[in-house]
Amino acid sequence: MDTTTTSPVSVNTFSELGLTDLLLRALAAEGYTVPTPIQTRAVPPILAGRDLIGCAQTGTGKTAAFALPLIEQMLATPRKAAPRRCRTLVLAPTRELAGQILEGFNAYGRFANLSAAVIYGGVSQRPQATALQRGVDVLVATPGRLLDLVGQRLVDLRTVEFLVLDEADRMLDMGFIQPIRKIIGMLPTDRQTLLFSATLPAEVRSLANDFLRDPLEIKTAPQATPADTVTQSVYFVSKAEKKAKLVELLRGEASGRVIVFTRTKHGADKLHRDLDKAGIAAAAIHGNKSQNQRERALAAFKSPRPPVLIATDIAARGIDVDEVSHVVNYELPHEPETYVHRIGRTGRAGLTGAAVSFCDHEERPRLAAIERLLRRAIPQRNEPPAWNASMATESDRGGGRGEGRPSRGRGQGRGQRTAQGNGQGRGRPQGGRGAGLRREGRSGSEAPKPEGAATATATAARKLPRKHRRAL
Ligand code: AMP
């Protein structure tokens, strides 16, 4: 398997990628002038017919990265889709993503006169079956509903020429592996297959091994710079203390729209129960939740009185909410890039936000890896317990910890720890909302200054139209 490097290729225009006029006009109409890195790397090999594994998150422009060259190829070999058949099949994990992909094909193919349809579960199948009757060029589908319709002979997959598996890791996380294998088993073996996934765990690799032919693997450079609208801080806590600390935080400063990240689905469910017991309204989303449950949780999270949203990384990708005031890393992620991605849920659209991480003894190496990626220390909120002091070395602190920091006086961190012990800390810290989001030195010692900017407020103006606000 070839792997391209993550360094940028110097392509500045879409025409250099080999796209024809019909597509260039559509891109101009969309306001795209420069291809994103995934587009630069993926379009030429897809145009050349290669199978491809694209390691990229949603928000990187990956829909256009596969839609553009596939439209181009379909235009190059015009063929009328037969009844109930399609030329391009895109499988996606959720109806939201499937809908977005359809919108992408419609926008990029607006001058190409191609037909497209989307099918997903949870709604009546009748309009979907009707849309497929005459056949379409592009069919975007979630796996379950697609299999349903195939079983009823309302869709016939025997002439698919191009297959896209989008957000493959999320589809597997949601338990779609069997339906996906079954669907691919119905397709002609002579086809081009593209697999996109934000992460490449073993199950995704094994799917790729089984169904892709000599794929080219491309990765977009991992995001290493969080927006400076996000104020970061870390609490050193023992595993046992985390729950109480979280409750304190949620009853205090973190009372806006808060996402709490856990590493596992089980951990998310457990925390949900714990917050319930503490009388804090919460909702959890992860791969074991049904589409309806996830949608309900997201709708509640978008409402004016949002519950705390507990999420696993993969499930959180479906969250498209700008006004998130706090991200709490209840557990630090294994991959440092995931930290950047998580905290990018706040501080969006010109708003400010706070990212608070809990770090226990075992997570110290993960924190060090995150700080290495960020090339800076994350300000701490409390004194490291003895285990930290004894473990921390300059090298596992990622080098320049504390570099250039003013020397700081002691006290604040300790005060917070004491307050936690006696329950006094549950009210807002002095200074009101956001006052707890102070930048403290690694020594935990600067006299804290209120940082009103650390809390997302609705005062900041949205500067860009929605579609241009997503991180590229
Ligand atoms: P995606 O990762 O496909 O969900 O795309 C993320 C967002 O970026 C979408 O709103 C696209 O419309 C937008 N987008 C994709 N490619 C470009 C580009 N080359 N220039 C500007 N915006 C883009």
Q: Tell the burial category of 52 from Cβ atoms under 10 Å away from its Cβ (0-12, 13-18, 19+).
A: buried
Residue 308: pLDDT over 90: yes
Alpha carbon of 467 to ligand 1 centroid (Å): 7
> Each residue of 310-346: b (16+ CB within 10 Å) or e?
bbbbbbbbbbebbbbbbbbbbbbbebbbbbbbbbbbb
Residue ranges of the chain that CATH labels 3.40.50.300: 2-219, 230-383
Alpha carbon of 339 to ligand 1 centroid (Å): 22
Residue 41: pLDDT over 80: yes
* CATH number of this structure's domain 230-383: 3.40.50.300
Q: Which of 23, 27, 30, 90 to mutate to test the pocket of ligand 1 (most atoms within 8 A of CB)?
A: 30
CB contact at 8 A, 301 and 276: no
Alpha carbon of 55 to ligand 1 centroid (Å): 16
1 — pLDDT class (breaks 50, 70, 90):
low
**3-state SS assignment for residue 257:** coil
The tokens describing 98, both together, are 């499937």
Q: What is the DSSP letter of 241?
A: G
Q: Which of 30-39, 196-205, 414-423 has the lowest mean pLDDT?
A: 414-423
CB contact at 8 A, 260 and 271: yes
pLDDT computed for residue 198 by the predictor:
84
Q: What is the DSSP letter of 334?
A: S
In angstroms, rounded to a whole number, what is the distance separating the alpha carbons of residues 56 and 408?
41
In angstroms, rounded to a whole number, what is the distance separating the alpha carbons of residues 13 and 142?
33
Distances (CA, A) of 223 to 134, 218, 219, 420: 43, 15, 11, 35
The residue whose C-alpha atom lies closest to atom 6 belonging to ligand 1 is: 59
Specify the CATH class of 2-219 in words.
alpha beta
Alpha carbon of 300 to ligand 1 centroid (Å): 27
The tokens describing 457, both together, are 């407020």
The tokens describing 442, both together, are 């690694």
pLDDT tens track for 329-387: 999 998 888 898 888 888 876 678 899 999 999 999 999 999 998 889 999 987 666 55
Distances (CA, A) of 396 to 364, 387, 403: 8, 14, 15
Q: Is the CB of 469 under 6 A from ligand 1?
A: no
CB contact at 8 A, 231 and 328: no
Residue 402: pLDDT over 90: no
Q: Which of 97, 167, 467 to mutate to test the pocket of ligand 1 (most atoms within 8 A of CB)?
A: 467
Cα 432 from chain centroid (whole Å): 31
* Residue 141: strand pairing partners: 91, 119
More confident residue, 346 or 319: 346
Q: Is the CB of 389 under 6 A from ligand 1?
A: no
Reported as type and span, the H/E element at residue 420 is helix 412-422
Query: Does pTM surpass 0.85?
Result: no
Task: Give me the percent of the chain exceeding a pLDDT of 90.
Answer: 54
Mean pLDDT of 415-422: 29
pLDDT computed for residue 2 by the predictor:
54
